[in-house]
Homo-oligomer: A and B are copies of this chain.
């Protein structure tokens, strides 16, 4: 089954090459902005009262993907779905960023880890009651080679 989606906006960040990008949004203090295409602006009403938001976006992977990868923070291979490696069968990125302010169709955010001009697929408010799990076990990540 083929699934067809369209970008609702574009994410601007200081990073133009993958080598510049932080490994995760949680490790980034970089400022960026999220430009919402005009026909979707009505959808951001009341978003400014949330301090953190999920961005879902399309990752550019011209080389395709492998099902086994060596993640940035380990020296062992793992199945792609046991990692957050960006290039995957459906290369959808997921980052929680800090929402600083909303100005018209532009969201100013802190903590970006994606490349400049990344196509935005969705925004969801981050709600700890929905999104936080206590005592999570993190498998190989707990024994990773690099910090």
Contacts and interface: CB of A to CB of B under 8 A. Distances in A.
A92 B122 contact: yes
Interface of A: 1-8, 24-26, 40, 42-52, 54, 56, 58, 67-68, 78-84, 88-90, 92, 94, 96, 98, 119, 121-133, 135-141
Contacts of A56: 56, 90, 92, 94
Copies in the complex: 2
Nearest first, the 9 A-B pairs at minimum CB distance are A49-B139, A45-B79, A51-B137, A81-B123, A46-B82, A42-B67, A47-B82, A43-B67, A43-B80
A127 B136 contact: yes
Contact of A5 (B5, B45, B51, B123): B5
Residue in A42, A80, A81, A140 with the greatest tally of chain B CB atoms within 10 Å: A81
